Amino acid sequence: MNENKVTMVIAGLGGRGHDIYGQYALEHPDEVEIAAIADPRPDRLELARREWNIPPERCFTSAEEMFALPQLADAAVIATQDRQHVAHAGAALKAGYHLLLEKPVAVDIEGCLEVLRLARQYRRHVVVCHVLRYSPFYTTLKRIITEGRIGEVVTIQAMEQVGYWHHAHSYVRGNWRRADESSPMILAKCCHDMDVLLWLSGRRAQRVSSYGSNYLFRADKAPEGAAERCLDCPVRADCPYDAVRYYLESDRTSVRAGRVHWPINVLDPNPTEETIARALREGPYGRCVFHCDNDVVDHQVVNIDLDNGATINFTMSAFTERCYRTIKVMGTRGCVEGNMDLAHLTLHDFFGHTEEIDLNITDGSMAGHGGGDAVMVKQFVDLLHSGRDDEMQSSIEHSIESHLVALLAENSRLDEGRSLPVEL
Ligand SMILES: NC(=O)c1ccc[n+]([C@@H]2O[C@H](COP(=O)([O-])OP(=O)(O)OC[C@H]3O[C@@H](n4cnc5c(N)ncnc54)[C@H](O)[C@@H]3O)[C@@H](O)[C@H]2O)c1
């Protein structure tokens, strides 16, 4: 390993590989150096090559090609699509890399166990990007619980408010719209929540049940006269999900308003009014939300029975204005509630004391999953530097249960909410 820096290769140069991990390397040149990159999309590869000054012979058109070569760096970031993670992680582990592996680890439990087996066999760190575990919001909550300030945790109620526009972007028009091409919504979006809620409870899940459906984004809910594409739609002015307004015209969210980062750059890596108009005419993000080929849910509830009789209740909904998480943890001596968007926690004990905790003031920047993205990468870099054997919070060893619970929740939802035991 280079004495001063950790070297990394990045497989997949999209929203995560390029915008998050690549950006981290750009902002922390003293910590991370990108040694090689891989992506089949020429525009993504070229953009990253130029930005990070990677020699052409270290730019690959697939992760497979890159990992077939002798090891090029200390660690690999696997930021390809959900169904590619097991194969790419396996190839990278065999080549000798430590991994920063995007969630979900796999779309089935066998895949998760395979990555775990290979991590043990090759004695490499595999850190799953369950970034919430590193955000000041959840680490503060965990500290409050661990210090016993609300007594024993009996009930956790949590909500993931996906945001109507984010849902339309990613889960109706975008890459996570079909479970067979990516993974069920409760795994793709909410394995984070399963992970962080179980971690906060400090207990193991015993049983799971779930309900939910795709309530709105289907042909039979289309407004009268709706066209196949928003650009052609005579009724789009009355549609909250109009893609032309969101990506092209709005004075808040669009390229015309100067927005060029996610989600606009998913339509085109070089967003201009012209490239975005073309993407709306020709690409998936210009489609009517009632006329897509999506099948994932737009709302789901999950109930988890823990091994000490405490319970977790989780709701995910597309139908919110903003995109954030809320939580209330109820214990035998107090309760604490939080709003991640406001970066704020309120702690009440049952002796009449209240404490307001403003995490913006305490912890500085809250960007990127409430600050979790950057903390996770920093800890990963520090771990590799240290040469220590210990595990990070979101090691593969600690990440399997969340995937198992999410997959069982999906099975329960498809089986009319049957209560299913959690066992490996
Ligand atoms: N940790 C989080 O909070 C978080 C947030 C969003 C997404 N994700 C996960 O991260 C992963 C990437 O998400 P994204 O938003 O960056 O998706 P994306 O579609 O923007 O990026 C994926 C990239 O992988 C590339 N790719 C496809 N096949 C490849 C191959 N064989 N070799 C190399 N690259 C290949 C694609 O061309 C694309 O550029 C997904 O699994 C997603 O579920 C995690």
Cα-to-centroid distance, 78 and ligand 1 (Å): 8
List the residue whose alpha carbon is closest to atom 13 of ligand 1: 16
- Rounded CA-CA distance 319/424 in Å is 34
Q: Nearest to residue 80, comparing CAs of 138, 135, 15?
A: 15
Whether the Cβ atoms of residue 266 and residue 259 lie closer than 8 Å to each other: no
Kindly state the average pLDDT of the residues 213-239: 98
Residue ranges around ligand 1 (CB below 6 Å): 11-17, 38-41, 44, 62-64, 79-82, 84, 102-103, 129, 131, 175, 188, 369
Q: Which two tokens stand for residue 16?
A: 């995560």
239 CA from centroid of ligand 1 (Å): 29
| pLDDT for position 11 | 98
pLDDT(1) > 60: no
Q: Tens digit of pLDDT for each residue in 287-301?
A: 999 999 999 999 999
The residue written with tokens 């619980």 in the block is 145
Of the pLDDT bands very low, low, confident and very high (cuts 50, 70, 90), residue 390 is confident
How far does residue 151's CA lie from ligand 1's centre (Å)? Answer: 41
Q: Give residue 357 CA to ligand 1 midpoint distance, Å.
A: 35
From the number of C-beta atoms within 10 Å of its C-beta (0-12, 13-18, 19+), residue 402 rates as buried
The pLDDT of 347-376, averaged and rounded, is 81
Average model confidence (pLDDT) across the chain: 95
- pLDDT for 2 equals 57
Q: What is the DSSP string of 199-231?
A: HHHTS-EEEEEEEEE--SSSGGGPPTT--SBGG
Predicted confidence at residue 83, as pLDDT, reads 96
pLDDT for 355 equals 98
At 368, is the pLDDT very low, low, confident or very high (cuts 50, 70, 90)?
Answer: low
Tell me which of 9, 39, 47, 177 to substitute to probe ligand 1's pocket, judged by most ligand atoms within 8 Å of the beta carbon: 39
Average pLDDT over residues 337-365: 87
Ligand 1 center to 62 CA (angstroms): 13
Sheet holding 98-101, edge to edge: 59-60, 32-38, 6-11, 75-78, 98-101, 126-128
Residue 56 Cα to ligand 1 middle (Å): 22
Query: Which among 81, 47, 82, 96 is positioned nearest to 403, based on CA atoms?
Result: 82
Residue to mutate, 9, 10, 16, 18, ligand 1, most ligand atoms under 8 Å from C-beta: 16
Helices 85-95 and 109-122 cross at an angle (nearest 10°) of 10
Atom of ligand 1 nearest to the CA of 85: 41
Model pLDDT, residue 299 = 98
Ligand 1 atom index nearest CA of 62: 32
User: H or E segment at 86?
Assistant: helix 85-95
DSSP string over 256-311:
TTT--STTHHHH-SS--HHHHHHHHHHSGGGB-TTSS---S-SEEEEEEEETTS-E
DSSP code for 82: G
Q: What percent of the chain has pLDDT over 70?
A: 97
- Given the CA of residue 63, which atom of ligand 1 is nearest to it? 32
Q: Which atom of ligand 1 is nearest the CA belonging to 38?
A: 33
Residue 387 has pLDDT above 90, yes or no: no
CA distance 212 to 394: 28
pLDDT at 363: 44
Please state, in angstroms and rounded to a whole number, the distance separating the CA atoms of residues 236 and 325. Answer: 29
Among 41, 102, 128, 167, the mutation site with the greatest number of ligand 1 atoms within 8 A of its Cβ is 102
Nearest Cα residue to atom 25 of ligand 1 = 12
pLDDT at 4 over 80: no
Domains and CATH numbers, the chain: 6-124 (3.40.50.720), 132-217+294-421 (3.30.360.10), 219-286 (no CATH)
